[in-house]
């Protein structure tokens, strides 16, 4: 479904990704780990089509078609969603209106029908109806921001959901509900690309289910099973990189 081939990406003229290969089939669960600055967010934002990230070499295909130069809206329509590492505040835009707009654009659902759907799903992520009349992320805690990203994902049900550090800055209760909802989406058929630095969230997920990729300096240097997570947690990235000759 997703095929990333020899991807090189520059940001403001600076090369960040230096040849990433990644293949995700429908419904698979992939985890990307790596130290700070290794290029995880760059990979996520590039797949989602963020305009600041310029592909200088290689390509991205989705469902057999090249999407390397498509804009983010077109990629969203095709079924790719990115849940941001740092979701932004949007002053003046109410959550409910924002989500109604998203559902109209992505799924063609009218505003009235969307309203009830949003309120119902929001409860599953601990948002009350009155919360939905607040502005997007304004004054929100880390946990609330990440739960709102998950709410969007549950409503959209993307074919591919990329989660950039859904566990960073999140309280333990939010982390547990976020993990359950990621698993729910996965069970319903969404392919997952989950990025995590510390692997904190992986303790809440079934390691049997996923493939782990480790990034260093803009490349994937190791791919393995869930066991890799334990090794990284007990020994750190440095030891692993030494072993693979990096």
Give the footprint of ligand ADP on this chain (CB under 6 A). 11-12, 16, 34, 36-42, 52
Whole-number Cα distances in Å, 50 to 47, 70, 75: 8, 10, 10
Q: Which does 52 bind (CB under 5 to 8 A by kind): ligand ADP, Mg ion, none?
A: ligand ADP
Distance of closest approach, residue 41 Cβ to Mg ion, in angstroms: 3
- Gap between the Cα atoms of 101 and 130, Å rounded: 18
101/110 Cα distance (integer angstroms):
9
Cβ nearer to ligand ADP, comparing 85 with 100: 85
Tell me which of Mg ion, ligand ADP, none is bound by residue 138, counting a contact when its beta carbon lies within the kind-specific cut-off of 5 to 8 angstroms.
Answer: none
Number of residues that bind Mg ion (CB under 5 A): 4
Q: Which residue is nearest to Mg ion (CB)?
A: 41
Closest C-alpha among 85, 40, 23, 54 to residue 215: 40
Within residues 30-59, the interface with Mg ion by CB under 5 A covers: 36, 40-41
- Buried b / exposed e over 46-73, threshold 16 CB at 10 Å, is bbbbbeebeeeebebebeeeebeebeee
Provide, rounded to whole angstroms, the least separation between the CB of residue 149 and ligand ADP: 16
Quick one: 40 or 219, whose CB is closer to ligand ADP?
A: 40
Calpha distance 177→156 (Å, rounded): 18
**Residue (42 or 152) nearer to ligand ADP, CB:** 42
Q: Which is nearer to ligand ADP, 40 or 146 (CB)?
A: 40
Closer residue to Mg ion, CB minimum distance, 36 or 234: 36
Rounded to whole angstroms, how far apart are CA atoms 125 and 174? 9
Please give the span between the terminal C-alpha atoms of the chain, in angstroms, as a whole number. Answer: 30
Q: Minimum Å distance from CB 40 to Mg ion?
A: 5
Q: Which does 12 bind (CB under 5 to 8 A by kind): Mg ion, ligand ADP, none?
A: ligand ADP
Please, which residues bridge with residue 222 across strands? 214
Residues of the shown chain interacting with Mg ion in the complex, contacts defined by CB under 5 A: 36, 40-41, 85
């Amino acid at each position: 479904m997703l095929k990333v081939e020899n991807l090189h990406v520059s940001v403001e003229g600076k090369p960040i990704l230096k040849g990433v290969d990644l293949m995700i089939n429908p419904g698979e669960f992939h985890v990307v780990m790596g130290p700070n600055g290794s290029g995880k967010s760059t990979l996520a934002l590039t797949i989602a089509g963020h305009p600041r990230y310029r592909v200088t070499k290689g390509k991205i295909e989705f469902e057999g078609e090249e999407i390397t130069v498509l804009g983010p809206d077109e990629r969203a329509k095709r079924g790719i969603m990115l849940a941001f590492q740092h979701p932004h505040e949007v002053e003046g835009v109410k959550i409910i209106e924002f989500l109604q707009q998203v559902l109209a654009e992505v799924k063609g659902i009218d505003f009235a029908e969307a309203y009830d759907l949003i309120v119902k799903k929001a409860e599953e992520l601990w948002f009350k109806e009155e919360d939905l009349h607040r502005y997007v992320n304004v004054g929100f805690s880390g946990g609330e921001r990440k739960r709102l990203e998950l709410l969007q994902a549950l409503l959209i049900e993307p074919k591919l959901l990329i989660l950039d550090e859904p566990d960073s800055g999140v309280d333990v209760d939010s982390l547990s509900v976020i993990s359950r909802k990621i698993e729910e989406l996965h069970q319903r058929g969404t392919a997952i690309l989950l990025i995590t630095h510390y692997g904190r969230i992986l303790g809440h997920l079934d390691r049997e289910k996923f493939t782990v990729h480790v990034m260093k300096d803009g490349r994937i240097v190791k791919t393995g099973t869930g066991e890799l997570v334990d090794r990284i947690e007990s020994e750190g990235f440095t030891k692993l990189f030494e072993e693979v000759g990096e």
